[in-house]
Amino acid sequence: MELKKAQDIFQHYFPNGKIKVVQKITTGLINATFFLDSNKGKYILQKLNQNILKQPKEGLANIVKVKNWLSQHNFSYQFPAPLFDKYIEDGVDLWRLLKYVPNSISYDNITNTEQAFQAAKCLGAFYKSTDKFPTDELNDTIPNFHNGKIRIEEFKQALKNVNTKRIDYARDLINNVLDKQEVLHDFDSTVSQLPVRVVHYDTKINNFLFDKESNKVIALIDLDTIMPGSVLSDIGDMIRTYSNPMGEESNLYKSVKADEKIIDSLINGFCSEMKITANESSHLQKAGKAITFMQCVRFLTDYLNNDVYYTTSYAEQNLVRAKNQWYLFDSL
Ligand code: GN1
Ligand code: MG
């Protein structure tokens, strides 16, 4: 990104602001993210991906409501929401500025059980603080985000439309997914019996910032998907991403195996802060399987649709991701 563009946006926030450094941050598959250093301090600048975040105003309203609630309900972690509760429109794109969290580090993969415990403890604190939040005041900004039935329908639609060699490359996986589609119908019916809560919907490890020295979590980030939903979505996504030390990009499928100790540790971390219902507790393990399978279906669907959703850097990347998730699901 050019310095001039960043400077223009920045001056909407600080009329006398001067940017010294702009650096692209490459983690995250959806938004474009930049680190800024300026005469007004350090910030994160983000360009929203409006192809995916189709209701940015409603999304911002969710973030602001939850931020205000947390500040009154003993949430002891930082929650870097858009600065001044606003987005800037430049005619084409939507931008936002966030406070940079100093002394923080993010990890793309879990390397020990303690990290899983600490991140899940932060999530547990988030659930505890928002336990009484009126969830009907939240907008459903990405409708059907974790709706199993719809994910299967989208997959079947993609199968009908696909007109390339991709269907041949993916054939085995397609058959496996069709065989197991029940998993997602089961998930929907379980979720429909559970309490509606404030859900983060993207609880992978790099959305928790750790303090560089203490290695405790200090901030919860990436707030675009905050919506009403079930705890199974967040714990399921933690199990999916934390238990797989190879990460979702690896094509060493034989080595993709869920680590049980990490799963136990994250569930303990979450429960050290938040007391969920017995019914919710009894489905946590199963949630890991369901969300992993759902992510497999989502990557595979995008592969069949010629990569319209997830950013890719090589042709077979979404298929590799989908296979990786399949092996993880199988081991779970
Ligand atoms: C997307 O952009 P990122 O990496 O935070 C996606 C998640 C997926 C994840 C898979 C809004 O998140 O649901 O689990 O990729 N976010 C959206 O890596 O679709
Ligand atoms: Mg995200």
Q: pTM for the whole thing?
A: 0.94
pLDDT of residue 304 exceeding 90, the answer is yes
Q: Token digits for 265?
A: 């540790």
Q: 173-218, pLDDT tens digit by residue? A: 999 999 999 999 999 999 999 999 999 999 999 999 999 999 999 9
pLDDT digits (tens, 9 = 90+) for 306-319: 999 998 999 999 99
Q: How far is CA 58 from CA 44, 55, 63, 119, in A?
A: 21, 5, 9, 27
Residue with tokens 């931020």: 67
Q: So what's the pLDDT on residue 162?
A: 86
Centre of ligand 1 to C-alpha 11, Å, is 30
Mutate-to-test residue for ligand 1 from 25, 26, 29, highest number of ligand atoms within 8 A of CB: 29
Task: Please report which confidence band the pLDDT of residue 26 belongs to, taking 50, 70 and 90 as the band edges.
Answer: confident
Compute the distance from residue 271 Cα to the ligand 1 centre, in Å: 25
For ligand 1, atom 18, which residue shows the shortest CA distance? 29
Percent of the chain, pLDDT > 90? 93
**Residue 163 clears pLDDT 80, i.e. is over it:** no
Q: CB of 302 closer than 6 A to ligand 1?
A: no
62 token code pair = 């969710």
The predicted-structure confidence for 60-84, as pLDDT tens digits, reads as follows 999 999 999 999 999 999 999 999 9
- Per-residue pLDDT tens digits for 248-300: 999 999 999 999 999 999 999 999 999 999 999 999 999 999 999 999 999 99
Residue 224: CB atoms within 10 A of its CB come to 23
